[in-house]
Structure 1
């Protein structure tokens, strides 16, 4: 049992704090229940480093309501911000060493894509071993059943959705480099698996053949775990992609930028709440712009959606910005081929100008979001 005044220094998180907070909150929302201790142990085995947090969970498992486990879980939840993440530490020699050829900085794009796929396969094998792809794919590998096993069901499921023909779970590319997929097939596979994944909160073992049977699945947590693991790999391999966590392209592998502009996308989507139509236009524009195969026409349409939001807010912009600054915002939309296509507009500009226009418009919408929020603040106070 933990000392409720403190947490052991040895508790180190593998999961992000918010991910564990969300999943632990959902589990504890039911109050004390039979097998709560087992669910906490299964969660802590994934979320923490080492056996300590698992061994510290009190409770009887199958024998009754786990009141002690419930109090223990609440204690962890309330002290979660005190827990340290198990970050990989680079020591003096590693920090001072020159860039090695195996570092993403020194690798070609093709090498970085292969490294990403190799590490992604390891993540998928681990998640599959933890039951994340077993919902609706429960085996008949069990000796008591007949019919297709989990691996065969997964291959069929992937193929039916237009995915690549692969073995399941994915192979170790260090041993079988010739089995590597094209980047397009790899990302398609990840998107299919995002729509399949769900975290199991309970597991039972078949006594005869030591086989796991998973249950009590939660799709949102499974998706969040997959997004976090895959996006960590995209960052580490320095690929300009991300698995979208929000919006109409949630779960898709989309283009991104490795700078504060990525935060701007998320902020504008969250803060554009004045009308449903404006929020729909913003989310649609962002989804169009960051598609992996986004064309110049897609980007132009995205810019038009954002220009329409700004046009709707033009009275607000007139009120709060000097006329010269207001004119500059709409001069871009009117002089370049964005909203209209006539002889007075510039149409012979490169795609990089569409990128520039998109980020300018998105920044202007964020500015108007802040003005709207400021204007609403006194009313909220009343």
Structure 2
């Protein structure tokens, strides 16, 4: 019996749902509790959890081939148990529809057409506060801030003080998005990236209506989910920054690039030798930071040029005399040596072009080295 996925909608990235689901299946003990909690978080509504809980814990015994099924009595068909069902759900996660927000209603459409006062930025701040509220409700800040319990009278950490220590701005908790300027908003986005941690288990404490308590925290999946949600928010608001998913500036806001250049950056960061990776990460962080300057872009180019200088023999072997053109720009223009006779009257866009050219060449030399080693 194949699983019908038509009633389920995914709220998470597919890869994250699959990796956390596979981990649940590898776990021992209360794996059903972990599975239920994962579905409650990652799938819209309660339908999937209800379907899962309706199934038996184990497959119908082989001695009872005529067990009752959804098709009625007398059908020779083994019942699917919870593990079979959940295993198939995770394996076929890529077939799940992503939950979509409903189309705007009348008041929202009116605001969209009539508002020209910068309300998009304010809406983004409110939406960010809502997302943090959801993370809080699901226990993602319990490891950082602590969690109240009627049986535990330990004094909890003060979230406002914790944020103040990181940002240097007091009284930011509870969140009040209407009071934030741009720097505060972007700073909070980066701070909460470092604070969230996913609880893989929860238990309900019924005494005096205490509620859910969370445990088995891990910041890896929490940060993946956080970046996915926040980057989607920033895109929808037309804000041209995103949280970096890798590199020296992991979890920091960086300028958005197109898919091709993002792929190039990923390749250069992941395929380099360890000593080169450190330098590439540094160059990328200098170049794409939200607060990047002309000087930081120059420094990024100089870092990449140093890598290529070390590989000059390889480039000469593959390109012949043409390899000199790579270094002529860095040497003749006001980039590396900064001599009086060097050219400095060029547009900043030139720095972008040379950075991507050099980064592409670093990635090319990585592949050349890999092919030579394989051969």
TM-score range, shorter chain: 0.7 to 0.9
Partner of residue 73, structure 1: 86
Partner of residue 241, structure 2: 241
- Equivalent residue for 1:44, pick from 39, 43, 52: 39
What secondary structure does 1:56 align onto? helix
Output the CA distance in 2 between the equivalents of 1:239 and 1:260: 20
What secondary structure does 2:354 align onto? helix
Partner of residue 156, structure 1: 161
1:246-289, Cα deviation, whole Å (9 max, x unpaired): 1121111222324532232222212223xx32221111100111
- Equivalent residue for 1:118, pick from 104, 107, 126: 126
Structure 1 residues 136 and 280, CA, compared in 2 at 3 Å: closer, same or farther?
closer
CA contact (8 A) 1:317 1:368 kept: yes
Output the CA distance in 2 between the equivalents of 1:13 and 1:367: 38
Q: CA deviation at 1:148?
A: 4.2
CA contact (8 A) 2:139 2:198 kept: yes
CA contact (8 A) 1:125 1:170 kept: no
Output the CA distance in 2 between the equivalents of 1:232 and 1:218: 22
- Equivalent residue for 1:290, pick from 283, 288, 291: 288
Partner of residue 216, structure 1: 216
What secondary structure does 1:195 align onto? helix
Count of aligned pairs? 348
- What is the correspondence of 1:197-346 to structure 2 with a 5 Å cutoff? 197-207=196-206, 208-273=208-273, 276-324=274-322, 326-346=323-343
Q: CA deviation at 1:206?
A: 2.4
- Tell me whether 1:196 sits opposite 2:204 in the alignment: no
Output the CA distance in 2 between the equivalents of 1:163 and 1:189: 11
Partner of residue 363, structure 1: 360
Q: CA deviation at 1:323?
A: 2.9
What secondary structure does 2:201 align onto? strand
What 5-or-longer segments of structure 1 have no aligned partner? Answer: 62-66
Output the CA distance in 2 between the equivalents of 1:295 and 1:278: 23
Output the CA distance in 2 between the equivalents of 1:75 and 1:143: 40
Partner of residue 4, structure 2: 7
CA contact (8 A) 2:163 2:172 kept: no
| Structure number, greater radius of gyration | 2
What secondary structure does 1:224 align onto? helix
CA contact (8 A) 1:139 1:148 kept: no
Structure 1 residues 167 and 341, CA, compared in 2 at 3 Å: closer, same or farther?
closer
1:23-46, Cα deviation, whole Å (9 max, x unpaired): 12222222xx33211111111111
CA contact (8 A) 2:334 2:344 kept: yes
Partner of residue 353, structure 1: 350
Structure 1 residues 167 and 318, CA, compared in 2 at 3 Å: closer, same or farther?
closer
Structure 1 residues 143 and 77, CA, compared in 2 at 3 Å: closer, same or farther?
closer
What secondary structure does 2:212 align onto? strand
Output the CA distance in 1 between the equivalents of 2:211 and 2:111: 42
Output the CA distance in 2 between the equivalents of 1:211 and 1:279: 46
TM-score under structure 2 length normalisation: 0.83
Partner of residue 64, structure 1: none
CA contact (8 A) 2:140 2:198 kept: yes
Partner of residue 99, structure 2: 86
What secondary structure does 1:212 align onto? strand
